[in-house]
Amino acid sequence: MRPRRLAAGIAAICALVACALVIPATTAAAAPTPNPRAPGGLAGEGQTPLPDMPGPTTGGSVDLRAVACPSGGSIVVSVSIAADLARLLAAERPTGVALCGQGYRDIGVQIALRRQNCGPSDDQVWREPAAACSPPTAIPGTSRHELGLAVDFSSPTPLAYFWLATNAPRFGLHPLVDGSEPWHFSVDGH
């Protein structure tokens, strides 16, 4: 089994059982985009590239941790934001807002989401802008989720999203700059 597929499989299994893991380094080429099948091999125009740090799409490794949600379940994120996320979830507990969600996802999951939300063609997956998808979905290699630096929160109420927009920045998580996805928070608003 190739290292990238092995890492993706391990990440998927660990996400299901909420364990902490270290994704092994792959032999992927360095930035800007990990997909040699993409036309021109580059991410789409206007996309914000991933930060210059090791990750599954830049050939390094990502140290991930599962952060327990107050009402059960967990969110797998980079260790660099795990403590802040845990404090955010603890701070919302007294409000009765039941937050949980999804953090890290590997490039294989990002590709599948693009096919689901943007269309099945390689052009739709690798070149269409995120805004052309429903819901908006980042081009693989540009998502903060691929580094465990973003969380899509799930909650049954608008109050939860209001609470997050008001309070999450105190814990280092920011809503999308364009406001198009009220559930999406990341370290830099992308």
Position 40 confidence tier, pLDDT thresholds 50, 70, 90 = very low
Element (H, E) at 21: strand 21-22
Q: What is the pLDDT of residue 95?
A: 78
Residue 21 has pLDDT above 70, yes or no: no
Strand (E) or helix (H) holding 102: strand 100-102
Q: Residue 49: pLDDT band by 50, 70, 90 thresholds? A: very low
Report the C-alpha gap between 124 and 187 in whole angstroms.
Answer: 27
Residue pair 155/146 in contact (Cβ under 8 Å)? The answer is no
Other C-beta atoms closer than 10 Å to the C-beta of 117 total 17
CATH number at residue 140: 3.30.1380.10
Residues 149/22/69/83 CA torsion (nearest 10 deg): -60
Q: Which two tokens stand for residue 97?
A: 């807002």
Of the listed ranges 63-67, 69-73, 82-86, 167-171, the least confidently predicted one is: 69-73
For 162-187, the pLDDT digits (tens) are 899 999 999 999 999 988 888 999 99
The answer on pLDDT for 38 being more than 90 is no
pLDDT at 147: 96
- What is the mean pLDDT of the segment spanning 87-109? 90
pLDDT of residue 18: 34
Give the mean model confidence (pLDDT) for residues 115-123. 97
- When divided into structural domains, the chain yields a total of 1
The pLDDT of residue 5 is: 44
Opening angle at CA 138, ends 160 and 99, nearest 5: 20
- CA pair distance 26, 174, nearest whole angstrom: 29
pLDDT band for 60, please (50, 70, 90 cuts).
low
Structure tokens at 92: 């919302």
Measure the CA–CA gap between 139 and 113, rounded to whole angstroms. Answer: 10
- Give the structural domain span for 144: 3-186
Indicate whether this model's pTM tops 0.75. no
Higher pLDDT pick, 22 / 93: 93
Whether 165 contacts 158, CB under 8 Å:
no
